[in-house]
Structure 1
Amino acid sequence: MGTRSGDRRDAVTVEIAFAVVTGAFAAALVFGVAAAAVRGLELPGVALRIGGGAAGLAFVARVVQVLWHFSPGVPGEAVPQPSQPGRTSPDS
């Protein structure tokens, strides 16, 4: 395994923290909706357990989604630049 620069390690750390925090927020939101439904609609207690399971799934889904889209790049590999509208490419 190659060495990583401090900037790259910091970027990975920030991205993981962002994924966990937003995942926790999504889980809390899902669990809150489930708890409100149980209380407001007088549903049985098993509905709260289902809500807890859904909250766990929401957490995992959010963390995976954030980390899946994050790519810190490979050292020594060029990062593709976005196209620039209105300009011609050099090979045209």
Structure 2
Amino acid sequence: MTTHGGRRRTQAERDAITVEIGYALFSAAFAAAVVFGAVAGPAFLFDLPGPLETLLVRAALVVAPVLFAVRVVSVLMRFRRSAQPSQPGRTSPDS
């Protein structure tokens, strides 16, 4: 449980990381569900030709997990960049 500088993380830092991971997972799951519904929804709601229905469902099954992974990584990378001060031992100017 140490950061890059070798010091131990405080409880507040660990809590912030936990909250950010939860936010990343929840927002990614929500976005993936919305995209899955938008892409595969017409296949379930309307009587479409068989190949088109299959194409929509398979496209949704590919796009949704990719979106989930991209969203989780982007949120956590943004948190990682914003959590580090600009100079060691000093707070960042916007804090």
Whether the TM-score (by the shorter chain) exceeds 0.5 is yes
In structure 1, the partner of 2:62 is: 53
After TM superposition, give the deviation of residue 18 of structure 1 in Å: 0.1
Q: Alignment identity in percent?
A: 36
Mapped to 2, the partners of 1:53 and 1:10 lie a distance apart of 33
Structure 2 residue 28 is the aligned partner of structure 1 residue 23: yes
Give the structure with the larger helix fraction.
2
Provide the alpha-carbon RMSD of the alignment. Answer: 1.8
Secondary structure of the corresponding residue to residue 78 of structure 1: coil
Q: Pick 1 or 2: higher relative contact order, CA cutoff 8 A, min separation 6.
A: 1
Question: Larger Rg: 1 or 2?
Answer: 1
Tell me the amino acid that sits aligned with residue 27 of structure 2: T
Gaps in structure 2 of 5+ consecutive residues: none
- The alpha carbon displacement at 1:20 in A equals 0.1
Q: TM-score of the superposition, structure 2-length normalised?
A: 0.73
- Segment drifting more, 6-15 vs 58-67: 58-67
Q: CA deviation at 1:52?
A: 1.2
The alignment covers a number of residue pairs equal to 81
Q: Give TM-score scaled by structure 1 length.
A: 0.75
